[in-house]
């Protein structure tokens, strides 16, 4: 393929990444605006209802080794197809039957999403020009939040018209469209992820600029990379815990503390999702003009403001939702923009992505049910918000150290 052909194919690469991104978070978010109806219809406790968001996160961690092996065996395109097929099946299963069936469908969604979580960073590194990796990572992050915003806005009205089961099943149409696109796109795709040392050749063959060639590294350089990955795991623990706890419970928090109707609280909470677009695209812009650690520091401050603001001045929840949304979109982009900087090959990028997501999502699994339990035990939302605050502080420490170290490479 010529360089011109590669440039012409880039929009289709980005379109594919956007389509899969729409289904990598939205199905988890769909139950949150109607969580009270789900509990009433299935008998789930508050902690059990928290599993509707917490269980997929647990599967993100548990199924990560399977995702890595699937990519190496079948290639990222086929892995994305399996991801979307699983999300589609799980979404339909979750909308039927009693509590056990709802949780079984939720588990399938989580396992399937894990495949896409690991495959997309590999696709970005392999198919996106080196100087556009940050922007495309931002687009990937932003699109996940656009999908989440859409389901937060639309699920409660749909439930009022057709019931909660039809409301959460309706979003499977988006996944079905994405699955059709990737079934076509995977034809003629490379079968496997490039081995170490082959990344430049594969990038050149695809007509896109290859990352700068890095000579064989010393033991000290490899140790330096391992330290950065460990810090990113810690940062992603905080990012994921804060994001999923807030996403799971913010609509109910607004209903109980501000007296909003479910549809209004869902619309207000959707600001937390849509504002992520600003952070997702803002981080690459700031990093291009200063350093990545500066962008990370700004995002860390915004993250901390969210729980502090909701505790100190809850009447300004719209402002805090927007600020927190910018933070969560920018935090994801900042963390995953480091991976191409420290990876020696596409295979190493997949390994680093798996380590960060596996460790981070495992730590974050407990956040939604723990927040629900704290709310039940204390009868209020102060303790859950303190949990979010601790998580944002973990993000701050991990991100600042990791980005500073990556800037010095």
CATH of the domain at 130: 1.20.1250.20
> Is residue 29 a contact partner of residue 156, using CB atoms and an 8 Å limit?
no
Q: What is the pLDDT of residue 104?
A: 92
Asked if residue 271 is part of any domain, the answer here is yes
Asked if residue 187 is part of any domain, the answer here is yes
> Is residue 138 a contact partner of residue 280, using CB atoms and an 8 Å limit?
yes
Q: What is the pLDDT of residue 188?
A: 55
Question: pTM for this structure?
Answer: 0.75
Q: What is the pLDDT of residue 217?
A: 64
> Is residue 147 a contact partner of residue 247, using CB atoms and an 8 Å limit?
no
Give residue-wise pLDDT tens across range 254-310.
888 887 777 677 777 778 878 888 998 898 888 888 888 999 999 999 999 999 999
Average pLDDT for consecutive 10-residue bins of the chain (409 residues)? 51 89 89 85 78 82 87 89 96 88 92 92 82 81 83 86 90 93 77 45 43 60 83 93 88 83 73 87 86 92 96 92 93 87 75 86 81 91 95 96 80
Q: What is the pLDDT of residue 253?
A: 87
Q: What is the pLDDT of residue 220?
A: 75
Q: Does residue 197 sit in helix, strand or coil?
A: coil
Asked if residue 77 is part of any domain, the answer here is yes
Name the residue range of residue 343's domain: 3-208+219-407
Closest CA to 275 of 238, 333, 215, 323: 323
Q: What is the pLDDT of residue 197?
A: 41
Tell me how far CA of residue 314 lies from CA of 115, 254, 323, in angstroms.
38, 9, 13
- Residue 201: CB atoms within 10 A of its CB come to 11
Asked if residue 214 is part of any domain, the answer here is no
Residue length of the chain: 409
Asked if residue 225 is part of any domain, the answer here is yes
Give residue-wise pLDDT tens across range 83-95.
999 999 999 999 9
Asked if residue 285 is part of any domain, the answer here is yes
Asked if residue 322 is part of any domain, the answer here is yes
- For 33, which DSSP code? G
Q: Cα(18)–Cα(136) distance, rounded to whole angstroms?
A: 9
What total of structural domains would you count in the chain? 1
Q: Cα(82)–Cα(108) distance, rounded to whole angstroms?
A: 12
Q: Does residue 409 sit in helix, strand or coil?
A: coil
CA 376 to chain CA mean position, Å: 27
Asked if residue 68 is part of any domain, the answer here is yes
Q: Does residue 2 sit in helix, strand or coil?
A: coil
> Is residue 151 a contact partner of residue 171, using CB atoms and an 8 Å limit?
yes
> Is residue 166 a contact partner of residue 95, using CB atoms and an 8 Å limit?
yes
Q: Cα(79)–Cα(77) distance, rounded to whole angstroms?
A: 5
């Amino acid at each position: 393929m010529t360089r011109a052909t590669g440039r012409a194919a880039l929009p289709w690469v980005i379109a594919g990444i956007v389509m899969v991104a729409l289904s990598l978070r939205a199905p988890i978010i769909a139950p949150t605006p109607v969580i009270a109806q789900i509990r009433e219809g299935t008998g789930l406790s508050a902690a059990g209802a928290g599993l509707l968001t917490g269980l997929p996160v647990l599967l993100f961690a548990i199924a990560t080794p399977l995702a890595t092996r699937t990519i190496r065996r079948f290639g990222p395109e086929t892995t994305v197809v399996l991801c979307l097929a699983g999300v589609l099946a799980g979404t339909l299963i979750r909308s039927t039957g009693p509590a056990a069936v709802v949780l079984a469908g939720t588990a399938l969604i989580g396992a399937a999403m894990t495949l896409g979580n690991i495959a997309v960073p590999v696709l970005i590194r392999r198919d996106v020009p080196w100087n556009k990796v940050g922007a495309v990572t931002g687009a990937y992050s932003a699109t996940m939040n656009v999908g989440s915003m859409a389901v937060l806005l639309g699920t409660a009205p749909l439930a009022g018209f057709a019931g909660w089961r039809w409301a959460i099943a309706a979003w499977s149409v988006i996944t079905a469209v994405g699955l059709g696109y990737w079934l076509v796109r995977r034809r003629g795709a490379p079968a496997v992820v490039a081995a170490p040392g082959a990344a430049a050749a594969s990038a050149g063959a695809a007509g896109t600029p290859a990352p700068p060639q890095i000579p064989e590294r010393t033991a000290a350089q490899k140790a330096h990379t391992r330290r950065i990955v460990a810090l990113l795991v810690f940062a992603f623990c905080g990012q994921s815990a804060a994001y999923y706890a807030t996403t799971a419970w913010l609509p109910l928090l607004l209903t109980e503390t501000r007296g909003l109707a479910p549809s209004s609280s869902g619309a207000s909470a959707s600001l937390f999702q849509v504002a992520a677009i600003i952070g997702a695209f803002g981080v690459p812009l700031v990093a291009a003009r200063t350093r990545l650690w500066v962008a990370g520091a700004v995002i860390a401050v915004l993250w901390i403001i969210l729980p502090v603001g909701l505790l100190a001045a809850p009447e300004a929840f719209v402002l805090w939702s927007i600020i927190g949304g910018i933070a969560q979109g920018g935090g994801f982009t900042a963390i995953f923009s480091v991976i191409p900087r420290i990876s020696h090959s596409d295979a190493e990028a997949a390994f680093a992505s798996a380590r960060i997501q596996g460790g981070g999502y495992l730590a974050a699994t407990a956040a939604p049910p723990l927040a629900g339990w704290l709310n039940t035990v204390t009868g209020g939302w102060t303790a859950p918000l303190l949990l979010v605050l601790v998580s944002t502080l973990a993000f701050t420490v991990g991100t600042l150290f990791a980005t500073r170290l990556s800037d010095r490479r």
